[in-house]
Structure 1
Amino acid sequence: MAPPAAIEVLGDSDTTGITIPDPLAVPIRTNDILGRRRKTESRQWGTAAPCDTASFRLKSYAGKPKAKRWDHILTEEAKSRKGSSLKGAAKYLSKPGLISLGGGIPSSEYFPFEELSVKVPARGHFSEEETRKTGVTLTAGKHDLANGKSIFDISTAFNYGQGAGSAQLLRWLTEHTELVHDLQYEDWACTMNVGSTSGLEAAFRMFTRPGDMILSEIYTFAAAVDCATPLGLRVAGIPMDDEGPLPEAMDDILANWDTSARGARKPRLFYTVPTGQNPTGCTQPASRRKALYKVCQKHDIYIIEDEPYYFLQMQPYTGQNSPDVPPPASHEEFLKSLVPGYLSFDTDGRVMRLDSFSKVLSPGSRTGWVTASQQIVTAYAKAADLSTQNPSGMSQLVLFKLLDEHWGHGGYFDWLIHIRMSYTARRDSILAACEKHLPPDVVSWNPPMAGMFSWLKVDFTKHPDYPAESIEGIQDKIFLGNVDHGVLLMPGSWFYANAEDEHDTLFFRATYAAAPAEKIEEAIRRFGESIRKEFKL
């Protein structure tokens, strides 16, 4: 009996078949990705092969609106870029029988690499000890594509590539984006970059001109300010509470923008780290994100959503001596537990999301990706073609072997759940140490829901030298006292969006990402000693 018209049967491997619903009509699950992928030909995976997110999508977006056009915000630099004319010719390399004497692409015959092997965790056995004992060695050969062993090999990955990255890894990233986010417009796309800091610098060049101001949290990622300053940009800080920037404050800033007083035209860009924000550790709930998005719609502001800590969302904090919250029981439960990103309710295409492997796999991979409207992704990829080019082919090959051929999407979610629980334990360790060793009448904090940072507020008014001593002076004394006690915490003033603004709070940032639990406790104990000495408690 033939299957119903709404069902198709596709091969999952050489020996098995699966029956799946029409991939254009139903939600995606990790275990049916292979069956949903479109049929491919080996020539589409070749050296410097052009690729487009639309060809890798698993769902249909027909009926959804098109993104707004952003010509009025894009800079002349961004609009004038034509991309690499030489790389544009790469699309002809897939023509069967073509003999190329055109491109300056070296022969892989002269690559001194025959094989690349990495040992990685088996799915579900993620600890270092388990990896040493039961880890799996993944090997890429030089000519695996030609020999039919893999769609990605050394001869391809180690050669020149497109600014968008390799088609092989971009397909996986496109699928991952669909699994995680409920995209609301039709012409979205992904492109790779060499990490989110590079992505941010490119975004600044695309959307701003020297003399502009951009919007961000009043305390923001220090490197973002350092990146903006040489481009002639300044940052207008938006007041925050424990849930991030205040929408009403942002609206008030924009509605009453005084070009003469500010020395800059009204901002066009809002830069935010919504999850586990660096430095404050705060996570914007969905309601706050939607309210801020509405303010951006009202004032036609474009949003840079920087999300390196998105998958470091942790289990709810239940307090000391309370039973641990068990890990998510399924991938669906894990994904449902994540706060929706701006991308999931962006109907205008006014969000550029920056994702990265730096915090969840390795900073040294120098591989991240951008999701935005096709117009913005095309402009970004043209800039990359003539600057950073694509992420390291060596990194892309390693990531592809791990994520696509070994773990698959389901294994990657298993890994993310594993590090979620590991970071939860580290977060709980630093909170326990704070409760045990810090004087609560001077130092206070909120349990972070995500990320790597604990934001410790110090009541400077309790300092014996206040008000004769300034906040900055008290901060410097505490900082140097901490160093004398053998502990380093970062002063909050190092994260001011705009150092010229007046600030009436004093914070220190502590990270629980790298040190083991016993060293976390010892560091906080030393900080407590330093505070008590400085405040003469």
Structure 2
Amino acid sequence: MAPPSAVDIEGVTDTSAVVVTEPLTVNGVPVKRAKSGKLVAGVAAGTSSDFFKSTSCQFKPKSKNFEHRLTEEAASRAAPSLKGLAKYLSKPGILSLGGGLPSSEFFPFESIDIKVPQVGQFSEQETRESGVQVHAGKHDVIEDKSVFDLSIALNYAQGTGSAQMLRYVTEHTEIIHDPPYSNWQCALSVGSTSSLDMLYRMFVRRGDYVLSEEYMFATAAEALHPMGVKIAGIKMDSEGLIAEDLEETLNNWNEEERGAKKPFVLYLVPTGQNPTGATMSFERRKQVYKVAQKHDLIIFEDEPYYYLQMQPYQGPDAPQAPPPASHEEFVKALVPSFLSIDTDGRVIRLDSFSKVIAPGARVGWIVAPDHIVDKFVRLSEVSVQTASGMSQMILFKLLDETWGHGGYLDWLIHIRVEYTKRRDVLLHACEAYLPGEIASWTPPAAGMFHWIKLDWKQHPHASTKGVRGIEEEILETCIDKGVLLVPGSWFLAEKSIEPTELFLRATFASAPFDKMSEAIKRLGEAIRASFGLH
């Protein structure tokens, strides 16, 4: 399904009329693969997303070039000479005494077997009773049982990741986002945290500023501090970062007062933002993108919660809205990504399996123009190398060989419904147990977090304790009552700024329903005790 057109967004590349074929769909993947022939990709196979895109991509204009934004370190990185030898391994009859690849004979794993859910039977009980046993052997490729085996997965690989998993995430990216320019690429990573750390090193220098939401993912902020990089927090509302405040901040940037040049990196979690749970509407994303075009920003679109978009909240007594009835309806229901409206190639998307499959897999990927992905891969090759081969194998067996793209979308629809139930239980408890004259909130539309605002000015010691003092008192009272939430000020992008509002972050990700309700009940007791309410 094609993404919505980039309405009101300025096209800055050559967009002369071209014939564009249909973009890739779930049903179109088998046809495309059949035309391409069997995937042949052995140990450390050189690979690229260009091998796996549909023909429609070649008719799109190219991205702008953002190499001038790279740090000196990133711009100077070249391909490791030893990695270059790998491209000759596919030559028929070659006898290699060159690369230091261990022999698979000494990998002490003959096979692995995993049990995974059948499509449409995703619960733990259904998986126990009717799950599919999936087998991966050491020499499945030679024995013509699979295109991926342990002799490949457990050996060294290219910085792009295995061709087998790169094919899957490339197809998935095109199905969901269909980037509007031709030279986009994917590269696997060791999860989004590693991706972000590497991108910071590629684009920001000591003394620079990075733009972000005023309340931001704590790890994303903590990664910057030791690098000597500061953060300029942009005001937020219930939809996340406010485009007008971003515009005002950049228009009025004073290099003398700030001690730094105007920033050009904007870090965002647009969907189910951590910690606020805010989700940007499509209109808001277009507004932010227009500001990015005007000020030549690079956007780091960090989207671990993108597929945890939930059904609309109906209220405590209303039935839950029905889930999407088809793959097409599900994709259409997703708020379009920044990547899907990126006519320039200024968006670097960070994707991950952490929140939708398992965080311990440590497999994610980035999507960006080829010249950015190339430098990302160069850094991978001398640091993390690539995502775990064992993890890639397990994900390949699940996502590619067992579920396919359609089955994966069915799984995403399933967890959409399950997270909607969890959110609703927490919200129902908030409506039942929290004092409405003190506590307020916006029902989260995605993610794992609920952002509760407390009217601290009604606190009997508001004039003497201030926000941080009252926040600390409430935290201590919560702990005394046997419940734990995270104070909102812990997520401030600019730690030196005194907060003017008081928030608490709750999560509905994993606690059982009855425990969530009991926790919110205890929170209500703690708030009443702190505010002196009866």
Q: How does the TM-score come out when normalised to structure 2?
A: 0.95
Partner of 2:224: 228
Equivalent-residue separation in structure 1 for 2:69 and 2:497 (angstroms): 27
Equivalent-residue separation in structure 2 for 1:63 and 1:137 (angstroms): 42
Partner of 2:36: 39
1:140 is aligned to 2:130? no
Equivalent-residue separation in structure 1 for 2:81 and 2:56 (angstroms): 32
Runs of 4+ in structure 1 displaced over 6 angstroms?
Answer: none
Asked if 1 retains the 8 angstrom alpha-carbon contact of 2:468 and 2:499, the reply is: no
Asked if 2 retains the 8 angstrom alpha-carbon contact of 1:83 and 1:386, the reply is: no
Partner of 2:239: 243
Equivalent-residue separation in structure 1 for 2:395 and 2:57 (angstroms): 28
Partner of 1:407: 403
Equivalent-residue separation in structure 2 for 1:500 and 1:530 (angstroms): 28
1:192 is aligned to 2:191? no
Q: What does residue range 436-515 of structure 1 map to in structure 2 within 5 Å? A: 436-515=432-511
Equivalent-residue separation in structure 1 for 2:28 and 2:193 (angstroms): 34
Cα RMSD of the aligned pairs, angstroms, is 1.1
- How far residue 83 of structure 1 moved from its aligned partner, in angstroms, is 2.7
Partner of 1:11: none
Sequence identity percentage: 55
Query: Counterpart amino acid of 1:470?
Result: G
1:256-314 Cα offsets, whole Å, 9 max, x none, are: 10111112111010000000000000000010011001101111110000000000000
- How far residue 24 of structure 1 moved from its aligned partner, in angstroms, is 7.5
Partner of 2:49: 53
1:302 is aligned to 2:302? no
1:60-111 Cα offsets, whole Å, 9 max, x none, are: 2233221111122111010111132111110000000000000000000011
1:442-471 Cα offsets, whole Å, 9 max, x none, are: 111110000000000011001111111121
Q: What does residue range 63-78 of structure 1 map to in structure 2 within 5 Å? A: 63-78=59-74
Equivalent-residue separation in structure 1 for 2:371 and 2:236 (angstroms): 32
SS in 1 for 2:55: coil
Partner of 2:158: 162
Q: Which runs of 5+ in 2 are unaligned?
A: 1-18
Equivalent-residue separation in structure 2 for 1:401 and 1:258 (angstroms): 53
Equivalent-residue separation in structure 2 for 1:214 and 1:264 (angstroms): 11
Partner of 1:426: 422
Partner of 2:87: 91
1:322 is aligned to 2:315? no
Query: Counterpart amino acid of 2:36?
Result: K
1:450-503 Cα offsets, whole Å, 9 max, x none, are: 000000001100111111112101100001111111111000011000111232
Equivalent-residue separation in structure 1 for 2:294 and 2:497 (angstroms): 25
1:1-46 Cα offsets, whole Å, 9 max, x none, are: xxxxxxxxxxxxxxxxxxxxxx98224332331111143456x410
Equivalent-residue separation in structure 2 for 1:150 and 1:63 (angstroms): 33
Equivalent-residue separation in structure 2 for 1:275 and 1:244 (angstroms): 9
Asked if 2 retains the 8 angstrom alpha-carbon contact of 1:161 and 1:389, the reply is: yes
Q: Paired residues, what number?
A: 514
Q: Which runs of 5+ in 1 are unaligned?
A: 1-22
Residue among 215, 219, 225 paired with 2:215? 219
Q: What does residue range 331-410 of structure 1 map to in structure 2 within 5 Å? A: 331-410=327-406
Asked if 2 retains the 8 angstrom alpha-carbon contact of 1:207 and 1:268, the reply is: no
Partner of 2:6: none
Asked if 1 retains the 8 angstrom alpha-carbon contact of 2:119 and 2:410, the reply is: yes
Partner of 1:201: 197
Equivalent-residue separation in structure 2 for 1:279 and 1:192 (angstroms): 26
Residue among 507, 523, 526 paired with 1:527? 523
SS in 2 for 1:274: coil
1:412-458 Cα offsets, whole Å, 9 max, x none, are: 00000000000000000000000000001111111000000000001
Equivalent-residue separation in structure 1 for 2:427 and 2:476 (angstroms): 23
Query: Counterpart amino acid of 2:430?
Result: C
Partner of 2:431: 435
Asked if 2 retains the 8 angstrom alpha-carbon contact of 1:471 and 1:504, the reply is: yes
Q: How does the TM-score come out when normalised to structure 1?
A: 0.94
Asked if 1 retains the 8 angstrom alpha-carbon contact of 2:214 and 2:236, the reply is: yes
SS in 1 for 2:21: coil
Partner of 2:274: 278
